[in-house]
Each structure stands twice: as C-alpha cells, then as structure tokens.
C-alpha cells in the first residue's frame, strides 16, 4: 500500500517542503519585520515624513522626547505580536494550526501594505500593529505545528532551523536597508525595504493551503483516520505500518491520560499530576531570558548602537550592522549541529554564559570615552561575539523546548502564552533602548549581564533533557518524576524511558485486577451476602463490647 501524500510529496521530501515553503518564509518575516524599522529611523527622507521620531537632526529635550516616541513606534510591532500570539492559545486548538498560520500570513500582507504606503505617523503605527499581530500568530503556531509534524530524532534540527531563518530575515533587512540608503532622494529609500517582505507573506499564504495539518491536533479532534494518513505521509510509510499504528496509539494514550478537555489558563496555573505549573514556568522563564539577555537589543538596534552609542557615521554603522547579522547567520550552524548531539541543556547553558560574558565586556568597553579607539574596537568585537553565542541556544532552541515540555492538550496554549511573554519583554526592550542609550549608556548593559548569568544556573537545576524523546515520552518524564526538584535527575537516570513499557505495565495491572475479581466471583458466588453478614457480625460485636462493663 502506497503512503499518503501532499502535493505528491511524502517522507523527507514533504518535510523539506514544509521547511522551505512554510517555516522559512514565516521566520524570515519574523526577523525582517522585527528589526527593519530600527535601521530606517535615521534615513533622511524617513525623518522628513515622520519628524516626531527624528533623533538624528535634533538636540536636547526635543531629541529626548523624540527618542521616547521613536521607541514607542518601533515597539508597536511587538505589542501587536503580543496580542496575536496570545490569540493562538484559543484559535489554534479551535480551528487548527493551518488556519491560524494562514490568518497570520494574511495579516502580515495587510500590515506591510499599510506601513509601506504611510504618509502619517498614525498609519505607520496601525500598519505595524497589524503586521506584529500576524507575525505573533506565526511565532506562536509554526513551531508547534513543526514539532508536532517532526520525528523525535530530527525535531531539534528542524526547529533550530527557525533561528537560521530568523537570521536570514535580519540579514536581508540589514543589507537591503544599506542598499536603499544609497538612494539619497525620494521615499524609495525606506518604502521599498518595508514592501519587499510582501513576497514572503504571499508565498506563505498560498503554500500553507497545500500542507498537512498536525496529526496530534487531528487526534485531539477525534479525526483518527486523517491523523493516521498524515502521520504516514510525514514518515513516508503506509497507513497500516506497525510504527504508524504504535505512534498513533501512544498519542491516543497521552490524550486519554491528560484528558481531551480544551486548554485553559486555569489548568496551567495548577500543579496536578502533570505538573503543568512547573512546565509553564519553565517556558515563561526561558522566553524571558531570550529577551532580557540582550538578544533583541543587538538585533534591532545594532545600527543605533554603532551610530549613537559609539558615535560612528551612518554608513559605517549600517555596514557593521550588516556584518554582525551575517556573522549571526553563520553562527546558527553551531546550534544546528549541537542541538541533537549535546542536548538542549548544554546549548542553553553555553549560550547563556556566553551572552552574559559578552554583555559584561560591552559594558566595560562602552564605559570609556568615545574618543578611545581601542574601546570602540572592543565594543564591536563583543557585539560580534554576542552574535555567535545567541544562535546556539536562544534563536530556535527556546521555541523548541517550550513546545516539547507542554502536554498535547495544552501545547499551543502554553507555547503561545510563553511566546507572548517573549513579545512582552521584546516590547519593553524595544521601547526603552533608545532612551537608555542616550541617558545611562554603558550601565544599561549591566542589567543584561546579571540576567544572563542566571541562565546556566536555572537550566542546570530545573530544565530536564528532552533530546531524542518523543513528545509523549517527555510528558511521562514530568508525570512520573518524584518532585519538581528531582525532575532533572529523573530524566538523566531514565534516558530510554519507553512509553510502550509503561502502557504494558498499566495494562498488566488492569488484567491482574480483572483476574482477581473473576477469581473472587467464582470462589465466592454469594459475595454480597457474605459481606452483609460480616457487616452485621461486626455491628453486633461492637454493640456487645459497648454494653459489657469494663472491669475495674
């Protein structure tokens, strides 16, 4: 029997199509639009159209006021992404992963058109909010859809590719902005860079219609035949293959143990047998670390850091910004090869330690006067080095881990709310950074240093390893561990916890109980009468004991 297919593709060919046609454009949109406006705020024609966010040609109080407004305008994208991501906790389970991805892609088209055609600041803000909402929906749903469609052996590499695609988005906007910066007159210098990602939005909108739905979502909806066909197509096997039947049974069993009820925030705030609150806190803290270790600061405001923080000229700042982001893309391959070789814990701890060290070096280097050439060279070096460490663990692995530790019925809700937390802190950093660089300077980087050094400590004690495990097996790790504080040790001591063995053990216990009941039924046919007689005898003995006087 031939396996099912989508667009005539199955197995590895279908997986590759998912990566190139859905995941790649979705996360290019993420990186491109998140950092795009930060590199355009100093373009002359842009400041002429929007003088209220001009910090290049103003001084004193006016510059300070404009810096605040500039931060708010740039950050409205992340505010839209916050609400778009939060909406996924309901819509992805209600309508499916594919429909939400399609809706997110359409919103990005609308937002990009509004933003590129802006003549007033209000229209620019509305466009950024809508664009942010679309990107937020994509960031909250695509990693979940991707992990649910990937096998356990390749899930890490597949999802870490998200970071690679985000970096491609960063690079495209940096070099495109530099190219159009050479257009000295007319609005093409900033409208064209904003409009270019419309191509990726349209590609994503069309491609998702031909892609498979998540087999785990289909199972959750009780559409088992569709789930089996989709799973078979993703693995390139026939529908009746033993491995397909086994995996589908494991998904069904996991759903039965966690219940088929809809996800709710209340469930995530209760510990329970599944330790949902513990898992939710792991996700929230990890996405907090991603932002407050300085990742968005360097990606979005690298041009501003070079131009206003280090007092370099505009063109040199753009060239260095493009160089740092290109280096960031090349560094993604370190995370790609490490994630399924050394594990999630290793890459998160190495990445966190490296980022904190770089922020400490940047704080020291920028504390010297701008005239100190050696300090400027050191500052540039630490920014480049930072962009080596962040892709290792916090440009894809953080999204991966959040989708892995969440149970099936709450996977999208937990992932989307934790990613919304990512956008919340993204908003804070984006809004504060222009003001902070102009006021407190090097002291701003000390905050990121302190938070960054907390990453390896918390990962070591609280984040269990998930590499090489199925999503259902990870669920068992949290359910079976003795306590929150021993979950990491339990995962380490049970590296090959087989879901099938647990299921067989439970089935054996059920069969044993049934045999005991059957034996009792045969040996004591009038069991109910015997129990009643025994109860009457116990009552009589108690009455006699009560009436009999106790000897002195």
Residue range 15-29: mean pLDDT, rounded:
91
Least confident of 198-212, 307-321, 458-472, 514-528: 514-528
* Residue 539: pLDDT band with limits 50, 70, 90: very low
Read off the tokens for 130.
Answer: 């809508």
**Residue 317 banded pLDDT, cuts 50, 70, 90:** confident
pLDDT value at 37 more than 80: no
pLDDT at residue 546 is higher than 60: no
Q: How many helices (H) and strands (E) does the chain have?
A: 26, 0
Task: Tell whether the model's pLDDT for residue 352 goes beyond 90.
Answer: yes
Model confidence at 522: pLDDT above 70: no
Strands (E), 252-376: none
In CATH, the architecture of 272-520 is Up-down Bundle (1.20)
Give residue for tokens 């996991």: 254
For residues 3 and 410, give the distance between their C-alpha atoms in angstroms, rounded to a whole number. Answer: 30
**From CA 477, how far away is CA 467, in angstroms rounded?**
12
318 close to 39: Cβ distance less than 8 angstroms? yes
Please report the pLDDT score of residue 514 as a whole number: 47
Residues contacting residue 492 through CB under 8 Å, at least 6 positions apart = 464, 465
Contact by Cβ (8 Å): 298, 386:
yes
Lowest mean pLDDT among 148-157, 274-283, 374-383: 148-157
Lowest-pLDDT choice from 92-101, 248-257, 282-291, 420-429: 248-257
DSSP letter (8 states) at residue 262 = P
Look at 47-61, 116-130, 506-520 and tell me which has the smallest mean pLDDT: 506-520
Query: Could you state, in order of their start, the residue ranges of all structural domains in the chain?
Result: 9-211, 213-256, 272-520
Residue 549's pLDDT band, with cuts at 50, 70 and 90, is very low
Distance of CA 129 to the CA centre of its chain: 20
Indicate the Cα dihedral angle 476, 480, 485, 486, nearest 10°. Answer: -100
What's the pLDDT at 422?
81
Please say if the pLDDT value at position 338 is more than 80. Answer: yes
In the numeric block, the tokens 């049970």 are attached to: 494
- CA–CA gap between residue 428 and residue 292 (Å, rounded): 9
**374 or 548, greater pLDDT:** 374
d(CA 139, CA 218): 21
Q: Check residue 542 and give its pLDDT.
A: 44
User: What's the CA gap between 76 and 124, in Å, rounded?
Assistant: 10
Which pLDDT value is given to residue 216?
Answer: 84
- Residue 544 pLDDT > 60: no
Average pLDDT value over all residues in the chain:
79
The model's pLDDT over 209-252, given as tens digits with 9 standing for 90+, comes to 989 898 888 888 888 888 888 888 888 888 888 888 888 887 77
- For the ranges 30-39, 99-108, 271-280, 442-451, the lowest mean pLDDT is seen at 30-39
Q: With 80 as the cut, is the pLDDT of residue 196 above it? A: yes
Among the ranges 61-65, 153-157, 528-532, which has the highest mean pLDDT value?
61-65
In the structure, what pLDDT confidence band is assigned to residue 34 with cuts at 50, 70 and 90?
confident
- What percent of the chain shows pLDDT beyond 90? 19
Residue 44 has pLDDT above 50, yes or no: yes
CA of residue 6 relative to chain centroid, distance: 26
Bridge partners of residue 9, in order along the sequence: 6
Q: Are 9-211 and 272-520 in the same CATH fold?
A: yes
Once rounded to an integer, what is the mean pLDDT over residues 37-63?
78
Q: What is the pLDDT at residue 357?
A: 94
**DSSP structural state of residue 9:** B
Q: What is the pLDDT of residue 460?
A: 94
Q: What pLDDT score does 2 carry? A: 64
* pLDDT surpassing 80 at residue 498: no
Contact 137, 102 (CB under 8 A): no
pLDDT of 365 over the 80 cut? yes
* Domain 9-211 CATH (choose: 3.30.460.10, 1.20.1250.20, 3.40.50.2020, 3.30.1330.60): 1.20.1250.20
Neighbouring-strand partners of residue 6 = 9
Angle, in degrees to the nearest 10, between helices 24-36 and 155-181: 40
Judging by beta carbons within 10 Å of its beta carbon (0-12, 13-18, 19+), is residue 377 exposed, middle or buried?
Answer: exposed
The Cα–Cα gap between 532 and 120 comes to 86
**pLDDT tens digits, one per residue of 259-300:** 545 546 677 777 877 888 899 899 899 989 988 888 777 766
Query: Could you give the percent of the chain with pLDDT greater than 70?
Result: 83
**The pLDDT value given to residue 537:** 45
């Amino acid at each position: 029997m031939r396996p099912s297919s989508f667009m005539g593709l199955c197995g590895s060919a279908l997986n590759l199509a998912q990566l190139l046609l859905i995941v790649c454009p979705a996360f290019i949109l993420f990186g491109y639009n998140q950092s795009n406006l930060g590199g355009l705020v100093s373009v002359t024609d842009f400041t002429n159209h929007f003088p209220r966010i001009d910090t290049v040609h103003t001084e004193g109080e006016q510059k300070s006021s404009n810096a605040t407004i500039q931060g708010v305008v740039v950050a409205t994208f992340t505010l839209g992404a916050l609400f778009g991501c939060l909406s996924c906790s309901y819509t992805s389970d209600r309508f499916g992963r594919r429909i939400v991805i399609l809706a997110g892609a359409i919103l990005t088209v609308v937002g990009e058109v509004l933003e590129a055609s802006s003549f007033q600041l209000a229209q620019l803000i509305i466009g950024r909010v809508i664009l942010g909402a679309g990107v937020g929906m994509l960031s909250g749903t695509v990693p979940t859809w991707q992990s649910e469609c990937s096998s356990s052996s390749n899930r890490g590499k597949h999802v870490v590719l998200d970071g690679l695609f985000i970096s491609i988005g960063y690079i495209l906007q940096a070099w495109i902005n530099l190219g159009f910066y050479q257009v000295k007159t007319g609005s093409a210098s900033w409208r064209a860079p904003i409009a270019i990602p419309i191509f990726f939005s349209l590609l994503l909108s069309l491609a998702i219609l031909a892609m498979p739905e998540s087999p785990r979502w289909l199972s959750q909806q009780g559409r088992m035949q569709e789930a089996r066909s989709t799973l078979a197509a993703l693995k390139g096997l026939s529908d009746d293959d033993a491995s397909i039947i086994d995996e589908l049974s494991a998904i069904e069993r996991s759903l039965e143990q966690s219940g088929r009820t809809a996800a709710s925030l209340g469930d995530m705030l209760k510990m329970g047998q599944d330790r949902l609150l513990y898992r939710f806190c792991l996700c929230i803290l990890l996405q907090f670390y991603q932002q407050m270790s300085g990742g968005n600061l360097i990606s979005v405001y690298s041009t501003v850091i070079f131009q206003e923080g280090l007092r370099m000229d505009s063109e040199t700042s753009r060239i260095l910004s493009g160089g740092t982001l290109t280096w960031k893309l090349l560094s993604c391959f370190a995370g790609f090869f490490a994630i399924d070789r050394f594990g999630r814990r290793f890459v998160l701890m190495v990445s966190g330690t490296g980022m904190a060290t770089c922020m400490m070096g940047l704080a020291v280097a920028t504390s010297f006067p701008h005239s100190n050439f050696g300090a400027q060279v050191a500052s540039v070096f630490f920014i480049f080095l930072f962009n080596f460490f962040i892709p290792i663990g916090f440009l894809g692995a953080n999204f991966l881990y959040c989708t892995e530790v969440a149970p099936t019925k709450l996977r999208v809700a937990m992932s989307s709310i934790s990613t919304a937390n990512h956008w919340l802190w993204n908003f804070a950093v984006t809004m504060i950074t222009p003001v902070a660089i102009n006021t407190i300077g090097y002291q701003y980087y000390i905050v990121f240093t302190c938070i960054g050094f907390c990453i390896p400590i918390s990962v070591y004690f609280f984040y269990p390893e998930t590499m090489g495990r199925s999503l259902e097996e990870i669920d068992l790790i949290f359910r079976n561990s003795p306590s929150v504080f021993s979950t990491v040790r339990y995962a380490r001591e049970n590296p090959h916890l087989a879901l099938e063995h647990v299921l067989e053990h439970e089935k054996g216990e059920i069969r044993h109980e049934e045999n005991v009941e059957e034996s009792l039924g045969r040996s004591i046919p009038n069991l109910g009468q015997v129990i009643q007689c025994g109860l009457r005898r116990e009552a009589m003995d108690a009455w006699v004991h009560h009436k009999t006087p106790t000897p002195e």
